[in-house]
Amino acid sequence: MQLTAEKQQQADSLYLVLAAIFIASLVSCNLIFQKFFTWNPFGFFNFEISVGILPYPITFLVTDLISEIYGAKRANRVVTAGLIASIFVLGVVSLADAATATSWSPVSNAEFSKVFGLTTVSVGASMAAYLAAQYIDIRLFHFWKRITNGKHLWIRNNFSTITSQFVDTALVVGLLCCIGAIEWSRFGELLFAGWLFKAIIAALDTPFLYVFTWGIRKHFGLAPAEEFQ
């Protein structure tokens, strides 16, 4: 559909905000990943997962929302922008880690390296997984959209995310095990816990995707399953 100049500006601004949320979530994942926590929502299974996983499902919610409203091409642009931003942050952190702290610095060289020293490893592992998982997610999202003729948003949201999140978790944990950051003995439990956590979050974020999609379509006058041109 043809938007007025004002509506087009609003649509472009919304896309920029969604892209910013996506990039911020992605970058923060790679900076905070070294802290692990336990979560037991059901009373019979303990999730032992990295705090870096907390903002990561947001990236898939955002790409699904962009895919639904703006189309696959603009969703892929956000994924590429996230890759560039992560590489840039990697360079900044590496430079900061290489700089020698002063004698009065509140954070010593050792403390900084302990917190951020594996950021290079994390970004390297997550970028390989990130590219594979995000592009798979976008392709599967539009595959299910075609199959269902634009109906049943919950199917494409969950089926695309659950599959791509398994690929992402397996690649990240596997690569970290390969380089010695995590012991191989923990691969299975971390893979299962990480993937199950993401699958649960994908199911929980479905109502939010419906609400956001409905609100955007209503505001801009988009028909069901219609995308911005």
**Run of H or E including 37:** strand 36-39
Domain extent listing, the chain: 5-220
- Return the structure tokens found at 88: 């840039």
CA distance 68 to 142: 8
CA distance 63 to 106: 39
Q: What pLDDT score does 178 carry?
A: 79
- Return the structure tokens found at 219: 């505001």
Neighbouring C-alpha atoms within 13 Å toward the C-beta of 229: 5
* Long-range pairs, 107-110, Cβ under 8 A, ≥24: none
Q: How confident is the model at residue 105 (pLDDT cuts 50, 70, 90)?
A: very high
Residue 50's φ and ψ, nearest 5 degrees, are -75, 145
What is 5-220's CATH topology? Arp2/3 complex 21 kDa subunit ARPC3 (1.10.1760)
pTM tops 0.85, yes or no: no
Average pLDDT score over the chain: 83
CB-CB contact of 30 with 89 (8 Å): yes
Q: What pLDDT score does 100 carry?
A: 92
Q: What is the mean pLDDT of residues 108-119?
A: 80
Sign of CA dihedral 32, 36, 41, 46: positive
CA distance 199 to 196: 5
Q: What pLDDT score does 18 carry?
A: 96
